[in-house]
Amino acid sequence: MKKLWIICFLGFLLSAPNLWAGPSIGGGGGSVSDGGGGGSVSDTAYDATSWDGVTDVAPSKNAVRDKFESLAGPPTVQSVTCTDSGNGSHGTLTITPTANPVSGIVNIALTVLDTDGCTVTMSETGAVQDTLVTITNVSAYHADFADQANVLKVIEGSYAMLQNETLTLLYTNSQWNEIASSRSVIKGTLGGFTASRGLVTDGSGNIVVATTTASELGYVNGVTSAIQTQLDAKAPKIAIEVDGHAHIDLTAAQVSNTIIYNTGQQAEDVVLALPTAAAGYSFLATVGTAQSNHFGVQADTNDKIYLLAADGTLSAGNDAAAVVMTAAQIGQSFACWTFKTDAYDWMCKAISIGTSTFVAHAGGTPTVIANQEKSGATNSRDISVYTLGQSFLGEAYPLYSISIYKRNSGTGIVTCRIGTATDMTSTYTEQISVTVSAGEGWYEALSITTPNLSAATWYIACGGTPTGTVELAYEEDAYATYGSTTYYYYYNSAANTFNLDSSVNTRDLNFRIKVTK
């Protein structure tokens, strides 16, 4: 507005020829004509008192120049001092800018005498809209400015002004507002902000310091797409739960980042068949139902299983091998995953075993080599009244399991021993425990040591400490027809000697022997 007023005033002066008309008076004086009488020239600068209503006096060039200078007006220069508080705390100072009604510009030199610094507030007393104030700290001690409600708005909410730094405020909207300072962007550099932090704009569009550090900003260097999308793609999915309490052939999906549990396993061995090994398979097998039987997995025909021991040693892998937990308790577990040798194979490791045993079984396909289900089989051996026994021809394959058939509802643990002598009271090759439940049927227990059954005559005897009377069938195909206890062997713990030398004709234990081929 001031510039526009000056231009209009110049236009007025230049467009009024009568105002400037008059003969030269050579030495410095002159007069003008108003068309009727005469006139004169005045060297008095414009002011309302001496000019208003005067029609016969023109301003001299010098008077006009003086007016121009007064209109542009130099800025008001003001000095303020913040004195020492004397009590070890900041000094305090309130700055009231001196109004400049002509130029509206005020330059303030601030001197801080308190070595602890000075807390500065601004006053609105006499403040005029669009007044521009620049404050310069000319002392060695800092001056602190902070937001004042409805009085002062500072970028970032505060500003600690150091020596020779400036703060420029504009009085608009009835308050002082920071528009520039030494911490503003100057020649591509920043100053006055918290070190090593990012900058953002606040809700009012002002630049403020972010909580994000420079190091954190560096983490996104080189990012080519949305980070969260990349994380979501790599994050492991929630493990699928697989019910493995009974014999099943596991699928690829059931061994891909899964948890396999045996909750509900009956008193029998459960060995789950693994799919053909491929890249990316892994699972955790965990015990939800405690049993004295085995719980494990077996590899496919052409896949090996390697057992990683707690001390880091690795067992040799065998095709179609199995790994099992024996007498596992609730909460115990093992993990398996695929890895590549010449082709993909399996590796398994005990995670939480406790009192259980985690073992590997020799590879091969479990095959029945002795299936005694009738009396008088060619490889039969008479049995005693209190101990059951059976001989069979051996083959040069590792023992995989022993199965027995239980008839009645008795429950408990039946212990079977296998060896090459008829008396296995103290000498035998392996002892395997079979836990039988109330249900009738075959009960299988996997071998732990998997002894090699070389060609020989082997014997099996069963004893143990069942909860109640356990009937072990000696003719599976006959007892249902005859329905008489004559065809059952009543087994109890009274005289379990595991000695087959005392015999009763035509009474043979129903059993099955499996080896791995």
Per-residue DSSP letters for 37-89? S--EEE-PPP-HHHHTT--SEEEPHHHHHHHHHHHH-PPEEEEEEE---SSSS
pLDDT at 232: 76
Categorize the per-residue pLDDT at 476 as very low, low, confident or very high, splitting at 50, 70 and 90.
Answer: very low
According to CATH, what is the number of the domain 76-192? 2.60.120
Q: Is residue 62 over pLDDT 90?
A: no
The overall longest dimension of the chain from CA atoms, in Å, is 168
Helix, strand or coil, per DSSP, at residue 255 = helix
**Cα–Cα distance between 70 and 46 in angstroms, integer?**
10
pLDDT at 458: 77
Helix, strand or coil, per DSSP, at residue 14 = helix
pLDDT at 1: 45
Across 152-161, 401-410, 485-494, least confident range = 485-494
Per-residue pLDDT reduced to its tens digit, 52-61: 777 777 777 7
**Cα–Cα distance between 512 and 514 in angstroms, integer?**
7
Rounded mean pLDDT, 352-359: 76
Categorize the per-residue pLDDT at 402 as very low, low, confident or very high, splitting at 50, 70 and 90.
Answer: confident
Q: Is residue 378 over pLDDT 70?
A: no
pLDDT at 474: 52
Q: Which residue has the higher pLDDT, 384 or 155?
A: 155
Write down the residue that tokens 């190091």 correspond to: 215
What angle, rounded to 10 degrees, do the helices at 61-72 and 2-14 form? 170
**Cα–Cα distance between 298 and 361 in angstroms, integer?**
9
pLDDT at 291: 82
Write down the residue that tokens 């909207």 correspond to: 173
Q: Which residue has the higher pLDDT, 491 or 359?
A: 359
* Token duo for residue 429: 């090759």
Nearest alpha carbon to residue 470 among 393, 413, 394, 428: 413
Rounded mean pLDDT, 195-203: 80
Write down the residue that tokens 């400490």 correspond to: 465
Q: Is residue 507 over pLDDT 60?
A: no
Categorize the per-residue pLDDT at 466 as very low, low, confident or very high, splitting at 50, 70 and 90.
Answer: low
* Side chain identity at residue 508, one-letter code: D
In terms of pTM, does the model score above 0.75?
no
Categorize the per-residue pLDDT at 336 as very low, low, confident or very high, splitting at 50, 70 and 90.
Answer: very high
**Cα–Cα distance between 446 and 514 in angstroms, integer?**
9
Q: Which residue has the higher pLDDT, 226 or 319?
A: 226
pLDDT at 237: 66
Q: Which residue has the higher pLDDT, 468 or 246?
A: 246
pLDDT at 223: 86
Rounded mean pLDDT, 96-119: 88
Write down the residue that tokens 């040798």 correspond to: 341
According to the per-residue pLDDT averaged within each range, which of 245-249, 331-335, 380-384, 422-426 is highest? 331-335
* Token duo for residue 220: 């996104």
Rounded mean pLDDT, 11-18: 47
Output b/e per residue, 429-452; b: 16+ Cβ within 10 A. Answer: beebbbbbbeeeebbbbbbbebee
Categorize the per-residue pLDDT at 348 as very low, low, confident or very high, splitting at 50, 70 and 90.
Answer: very high
Across 131-140, 226-235, 325-334, least confident range = 226-235
Are the CB atoms for 387 and 465 separated by under 8 Å? no
Q: Is residue 282 over pLDDT 90?
A: yes
**E strand spans, 154-303:** 158-161, 166-172, 175-181, 197-201, 207-213, 240-243, 256-261, 270-273, 282-286, 294-298
| Sign, Cα dihedral of 138, 142, 146, 148 | negative
Average pLDDT, the chain: 75
Q: Is residue 436 over pLDDT 60?
A: yes
Categorize the per-residue pLDDT at 3 as very low, low, confident or very high, splitting at 50, 70 and 90.
Answer: very low
pLDDT at 211: 86
Rounded mean pLDDT, 323-329: 82
Categorize the per-residue pLDDT at 390 as very low, low, confident or very high, splitting at 50, 70 and 90.
Answer: low
Are the CB atoms for 485 and 469 separated by under 8 Å? no
Are the CB atoms for 517 and 369 separated by under 8 Å? no
Q: Which residue has the higher pLDDT, 95 or 31?
A: 95
In this structure, the dihedral spanned by the alpha carbons of residues 270, 430, 404 and 423, taken in order and rounded to 10 degrees, is: -170
> Which residues are bridge partners to 344 per DSSP?
340
pLDDT at 377: 40
Q: Is residue 411 over pLDDT 90?
A: no
Categorize the per-residue pLDDT at 261 as very low, low, confident or very high, splitting at 50, 70 and 90.
Answer: very high
Rounded mean pLDDT, 201-223: 81
